[in-house]
Structure 1
Amino acid sequence: MGRHRKQQPATVTRSSVIALTGLVPAGVVATNAAAAMATDPTAASVSMHMQELSAGPLQTMTPAAVDVTAMHAMAKQSPEARVEVKTVALDPDRARNDMPVAASGIPGIAEAAYINAEQILAEESPGCNMPWTMLAGIGRVESTHMYNGKADADGNALAPVFGPVLDGSLSGNNVIHDSDSGALDGFSGYDRAVGPMQFLPETWTAFAGDGNRDGISDPQNYYDATLTAGKYLCSGGLDMSDPAQQTRAILRYNNSMAYVANVMAWEQSYNTGIAPRPAELPKI
């Protein structure tokens, strides 16, 4: 979970790893985001907040430096007790959860996971002021809420969620060599993003949230994934009630202004019940 993947320069947007698997449209250059900012208040607000970041590390560090130095160093600051990091092998014929779609329009199992993460973060990182709707915005963009709630009653993905192998064969993705011997992503030689919130294995291990409190941090479990995303976004003492700091946190997840605009538009939608307008969703 800067994006927990290697990033492209901020002047050009790219497909997120999950986009390349077909969950959201493939990438577009930054001119699309700029056009949206010129006509849309949400995107314009994001652009305004970015002006406050001119002295921050995202303006002076290279994308690779942000990925390796900033996010992993901040992960070590977490006070949470160490948990066992692994993906649990489960019966492939498990039944899908029967939770109804929530009033927000989010699958019930997904909304429960977002709210659970908000509650845990309120206790563990009260200064972060993380709203569940922000996590929902991330989840909507990354995997359409675990493929619209395709999880069992415990929040485990019915089928593992993986991004493409990051071996340089796909345009827009950097080469990221194996960091976990395939333990989390099921592939050796190179890494690929894992779970509904799309973390690289190394970053997952660094932040390792245990949302369902079973002693295991599994990227394919929605409760664990949403808490880990929250820990990542909050790390470094960021406060999500400050729009500029919230923007910084989302850019850390994916260094793209179009991505920020999408997450904030969905967050606002879940707060108000009003669907985002097309101009608020520039292509990533």
Structure 2
Amino acid sequence: MTAMRRFEGHGVLITGAARGIGAATARRLSEEGAQVLVTDVDLAEAEKTAAAIRERGERAEAFTCDVGERTSVEVAVAYAAHTFGSLDVLVNNAYGCSPDAPLFEDEPDEAWARDLDLTLTGAYRCCRAALPHLVASGRGAIVSIGSVNGLQDFGNHAYSAAKAGLVSLTRTLAGHAAPRGVRVNLVAPGTVRTTAWEGRDAELEVASGLYPLGRVGEPEDIAAAVAFLASHDAAWITGTTLCVDGGVLAVNTGFRQALWQRGDS
């Protein structure tokens, strides 16, 4: 357990927090003293995450939140603010990611709309509902989970467009919220070992070789970055995108390896 207690008394709401990055973030912030509302459309799994946190003597509750529904979001935000006495941190983690059709012209409207609605518009709904409470707290912070897909081509047209939209929303909302005392930032992960990769160990092994640091990410890697950006340690940081990607955007490992195999340097 971390010795830091940067979120003592803070009220935190995390979307898509039943598992993966969201669950790891809930654990990390609660370890540092936060009161965490673990929200997800899967309430049973969210409750498992919250219960595990409570077993360690920390405070967490589970709550249903569908970021695709404005009322669901507003109810969850109001519940967090009332239950914890304040809402100080919002973590936008919920997303949708549909597989690409073999040909772009065959992409269905429904998949495109779903990915953008859950990933981008869902975060917008959460920010809109949470912002008055974050302003009132006097130490409000929003951290959204983006992706390297929003910065470079890794496939998934709709998902990538939505994540790129989150980068832009982070900048524009940061400018709007800064005079009101709220910071807005984004973490852009590379490949992270979550339930989305279950049964795909061979693919993860191949991906590991393409990362300069020699491995894919773990949910705890992303949670640590979220904790930093949400904390007072990042008090003079807003509107930024922090890449937590094992160096994949900085170094083209596949290209380097191809040259090395040819004997070039």
Give the TM-score taking structure 2 as reference length. 0.23
Give 1 or 2 for the bigger CA radius of gyration.
Answer: 2
Structure of greater relative contact order (alpha carbons < 8 Å, 6+ residues apart): 1
Give the TM-score taking structure 1 as reference length. 0.22
